[in-house]
Structure 1
Amino acid sequence: MKLHRSIVESIIEGLREIFELGLFADQVVKNKLKSDKRWGARDRKFIAESIYDLVRYYRWYMTIGEIEQTDEHRFQKIAAIYFLEKKLDFPEWFQPILPTEEKLEENRAVFGKEVKYVASIPDWLDEIGKEELGEIWSAEMNALNQQAKVVLRVNTLKTNKTLLIKILEKENVEVEKLEGFPDALMLKKRRDLSQLKAYADGLFEIQDASSQLVAPFAQASSGMLAVDACAGAGGKTLHLAAQMGNNGKIISLDLEEHKLKELRKRSKRANCKISRAHLIFADTIDQFKDQADLLLIDAPCSGLGVLRRKPDSKWKLTPERLNELKQIQQKLLEDYPPMLKSGGTLVYVTCSILPSENEKQVEQFLAKNTGKYTLEEERKIMPSEGFDGFYMARLRKL
């Protein structure tokens, strides 16, 4: 592949926007792919993969390339090392100064023994991970640097798995079933799904396999009053509605109106008729006190379980922010459970793999509410299993 100037400059500018301006990698990539109509599918694929790989392995390339954070040419240099590994010839105009091939190889050998370099993570995060997860930390972080699989959730409010497979085949999309995930189909080959008629018709949602386990784990059923306390754009709400057969009521809450606007849009497309999206106000919890059959708290978290699809988040996360998130998790578990009726189900979920955000939070909640709740089941899905890292706990209010 020839390294055209526009492609290289787009990759370098993308890195600058992510690391210096703090923009989100997925949005940067999306914008870059639209910026030059001359690029073909192969070019766009190369740009997207290059930006994501360089974000994933930023520290690794900085380390083996002996590049300082203050180096104004650091993005050119890490891109150059990446291109060397891909065995691409540099054009004459792109000749950044790098260590020799021998020195790069020597550095790979020296630094390739430590997970913080190989998996490319900050020192502070590596320390916490080792402390909380021990010997499995290295394998999990390496798993999280792999490219995420693209998984669909069949929208059973509109179709079924067998029929959707046939519909997708007509749109030249090949999928395979996933054992243990009743509504999941995985793409055999990556492609943009947002332009498909089947997507526009609401026949499926793009949702990782691990995330698809939440609604069945919650045991949502027809006729329930369910509360999705941190609904966001509605991925879990839509699955709960399908699980409930569009019979009952789901109160979908969030602090941000733009997310609820997207939820309403997605609900309409998916034929979800039982969701009511509400901004959270001071009296919201009191309005539904002792009424809910099911309370889902999909809590804000470090997002370490989804680094495959959001690799830039490990560079945005700080020790201070992690502590803030833990406090938010505790606050959610203090504030929202009064919405549950006696015998109701509380489901606490995160996409983190850290016990301090998961089991420890549930233990602390139970200790504060002795005799009021019982823990029915916990489930932890680790990234090394092939999909996003997730934690789920189901508790019963006595």
Structure 2
Amino acid sequence: MRLPGRLSAAIAVLDDIETRKRPVSEALKAWGLNNRFAGAGDRAAIGNLVYDALRRRASHAALMGSDSPRALVLAVAVRDWQEDPAALNESFAADSHAPDPLSEDEIARVTGQLNDDTPGWVLADVPEWLAPSLQRGFGDNWIAEGQDMAGRPSLDLRVNTLKSTRDRVMKALARFAPAETAVSPLGVTMPAGLRDARTPNVTTDEGYLKGWFEVQDHGSQIVAALAGARPGEQVLDLCAGAGGKTLALAAAMMNKGQIFAYDSDRNRLAPIYDRLKRNGARNVQVRAPQPGALDDLVGKMDRVVIDAPCTGTGTWRRRPDTKWKLSPDLLAQRMTEQAAILQEGQRFLKPGGTLVYITCSILPEENDDQVAAFIADHPGFASIPADALWQGAFATELPDDLETAHGGVALTPRLTGTDGFYFNALRKPA
């Protein structure tokens, strides 16, 4: 397929997403099944167009005067992919699968600039109702934070030290030009490409199949390291999900001690079994959700790790469709769940134990606000100094702009080149 056909396909996929209200990945898969002539390069390019359109939907729509699939895709082609409108129209005329030619009005809009009075939420490409929250969280930098959150993410890997080393993984993946991550000593990264660049499929690599590495965002690696799990400890991973952080904790503990991996959703937990086997993690006991599943752990844990249910605002680069579906009601629901799980998690700590609170959110309501409310309700709990945790994990000083008002650590694409994450470690009184 040439570019005109790919643009038409992206418009069709966006129309399908809008009409059927289904996830991007599902719509792209359906298009691929219905158009088997399209090669892997075509599918990657169409996916890039669709995701790019959703990442910057607000600013593209404001410039084009429309948020229709056609308007968004044309804006991506010119604004993001640097196509010339005149050249596009020439290529459209020569391709039977092309969209209709750009009108004079569309050309004027797509080559223009946003007005000086454009609202901040449009410039930041975030939902309007979230602007006050982001401004409270990031101050004068909130628009820049939103703009960086609208970029493409890198592909990051965490080396599994139970089976391999970073040098070994880098050599095995040399064909993808990997680089070392800036903070995590176990991270390998492949920056996102431009336009129709394809993301390397590393999960078919021999090293992955042997358990040498896992796909894990650099930010997720950082917060897992900050959790500070040590060999010989008793650790409860209370929201283990598919086990990404569980595996990182197991490696940090060198398979010594015990990790209890639990999740309230059996389906989320299902992939963990194969991952544990592939990674050679032998100190993990999976606890399936059932009444009394964790009763024997109350008051016995050195460390309870809560990767809390959240809005996922920190993953907007990877799942931009969720940005525009988020509602005040959903945020309120997640905040209620977070408060409840913090209350639940602290029960399992022994005196002097550590409660680790993590979210993949950039909203203060889910982060510092939750910690402040928990401490107010649980006198004696206090945040462990973030700079000490950072020094212990990475042997470097914690950058000043990463520490939050309530002693947490905030990671964002703008600050750390990672997904958005929040971390806070609270010590239970002895």
Tell me the TM-score normalised to structure 2 length.
0.83
Counterpart residue type for residue 211 of structure 1: S
Distance 2:343 2:40 in 1: 49
What secondary structure sits across from 1:321 in the alignment? helix
Distance 2:259 2:31 in 1: 38
Is structure 2 residue 345 aligned with structure 1 residue 342?
no
CA positional deviation for 1:244: 0.6
Is structure 2 residue 235 aligned with structure 1 residue 235?
no
User: Which residue in 2 is equivalent to 1:321?
Assistant: 330
User: Which residue in 2 is equivalent to 1:71?
Assistant: none
Query: 1:39-92 deviations in whole A, cap 9, x for unaligned?
Result: 345423321210101111222333322227xxxxx2233323433543333246
CA positional deviation for 1:353: 1.6
Query: How many residue pairs get matched?
Result: 389
Give the one of 296, 301, 304 matched to 1:295. Answer: 304
Is structure 2 residue 96 aligned with structure 1 residue 65?
no
Residue 165 of structure 1 contacts residue 175 of structure 1 at CA under 8 Å; is this kept in 2?
Answer: yes
Distance 2:338 2:363 in 1: 13
User: Which residue in 2 is equivalent to 1:384?
Assistant: 414
Is structure 2 residue 389 aligned with structure 1 residue 358?
no
Residue 256 of structure 2 contacts residue 283 of structure 2 at CA under 8 Å; is this kept in 1?
Answer: yes
Counterpart residue type for residue 2 of structure 1: R
In structure 1, stretches of 5+ residues that fail to align are 69-73
CA positional deviation for 1:203: 0.9
Give the one of 127, 135, 143 matched to 2:148. Answer: 143
Distance change in 2, residues 1:342/1:32 (3 Å): farther
Distance change in 2, residues 1:232/1:107 (3 Å): same
Give the one of 105, 114, 129 matched to 1:109. Answer: 114
Distance 1:77 1:300 in 2: 34
Residue 18 of structure 1 contacts residue 312 of structure 1 at CA under 8 Å; is this kept in 2?
Answer: no
Is structure 2 residue 279 aligned with structure 1 residue 276?
no
Taking only aligned residues, the RMSD between alpha carbons, in angstroms, comes to 2.4
CA positional deviation for 1:174: 2.1
In structure 2, stretches of 5+ residues that fail to align are 194-198, 386-407
Distance 1:290 1:75 in 2: 54
User: Which residue in 2 is equivalent to 1:177?
Assistant: 180
Query: 1:80-133 deviations in whole A, cap 9, x for unaligned?
Result: 343354333324662177561464158733278433223322211123322443
Is structure 2 residue 173 aligned with structure 1 residue 168?
yes
Distance change in 2, residues 1:391/1:165 (3 Å): same
Distance 2:262 2:357 in 1: 15
Distance 1:12 1:206 in 2: 30
After TM superposition, list the pairs within 5 Å mapping 1:76-87 onto structure 2.
Answer: 76-85=70-79, 86-87=83-84
Query: 1:138-184 deviations in whole A, cap 9, x for unaligned?
Result: 01101101110111100111111122222223xx2321112321100
CA positional deviation for 1:202: 1.4
Residue 380 of structure 1 contacts residue 392 of structure 1 at CA under 8 Å; is this kept in 2?
Answer: yes
Counterpart residue type for residue 120 of structure 2: V
Between stretches 128-137 and 322-331, larger displacement belongs to 128-137
Distance change in 2, residues 1:232/1:98 (3 Å): farther
User: Which residue in 2 is equivalent to 1:12?
Assistant: 11
Distance change in 2, residues 1:19/1:111 (3 Å): farther
Counterpart residue type for residue 396 of structure 1: R
User: Which residue in 1 is equivalent to 2:388?
Assistant: none
User: Which residue in 2 is equivalent to 1:205?
Assistant: 214
Counterpart residue type for residue 75 of structure 1: P
Residue 345 of structure 1 contacts residue 395 of structure 1 at CA under 8 Å; is this kept in 2?
Answer: yes
Distance 1:294 1:31 in 2: 44
Distance change in 2, residues 1:241/1:30 (3 Å): farther
What secondary structure sits across from 2:162 in the alignment? coil
User: Which residue in 2 is equivalent to 1:262?
Assistant: 271
Query: 1:231-288 deviations in whole A, cap 9, x for unaligned?
Result: 1111000000000111122111112222211111111111112222223334234331
What secondary structure sits across from 2:270 in the alignment? helix
Counterpart residue type for residue 352 of structure 1: S
User: Which residue in 1 is equivalent to 2:133?
Assistant: 128
What secondary structure sits across from 1:110 in the alignment? coil
Residue 111 of structure 1 contacts residue 118 of structure 1 at CA under 8 Å; is this kept in 2?
Answer: no
Distance 2:235 2:47 in 1: 39
Residue 7 of structure 2 contacts residue 49 of structure 2 at CA under 8 Å; is this kept in 1?
Answer: no
Counterpart residue type for residue 100 of structure 1: D
Tell me the TM-score normalised to structure 1 length.
0.90
Residue 64 of structure 2 contacts residue 106 of structure 2 at CA under 8 Å; is this kept in 1?
Answer: no
User: Which residue in 1 is equivalent to 2:53?
Assistant: 54
Is structure 2 residue 334 aligned with structure 1 residue 332?
no
Between stretches 11-20 and 266-275, larger displacement belongs to 11-20
Distance change in 2, residues 1:152/1:27 (3 Å): farther
Distance 1:329 1:379 in 2: 17
What secondary structure sits across from 1:312 in the alignment? helix
What secondary structure sits across from 2:354 in the alignment? strand
Residue 65 of structure 1 contacts residue 99 of structure 1 at CA under 8 Å; is this kept in 2?
Answer: no
Distance 1:245 1:33 in 2: 43
Give the one of 192, 213, 220 matched to 2:229. Answer: 220
User: Which residue in 2 is equivalent to 1:155?
Assistant: 160
CA positional deviation for 1:19: 3.3
Distance 2:255 2:111 in 1: 60
Residue 375 of structure 1 contacts residue 393 of structure 1 at CA under 8 Å; is this kept in 2?
Answer: yes
Residue 220 of structure 1 contacts residue 294 of structure 1 at CA under 8 Å; is this kept in 2?
Answer: yes
Is structure 2 residue 335 aligned with structure 1 residue 305?
no
Distance 1:333 1:102 in 2: 53
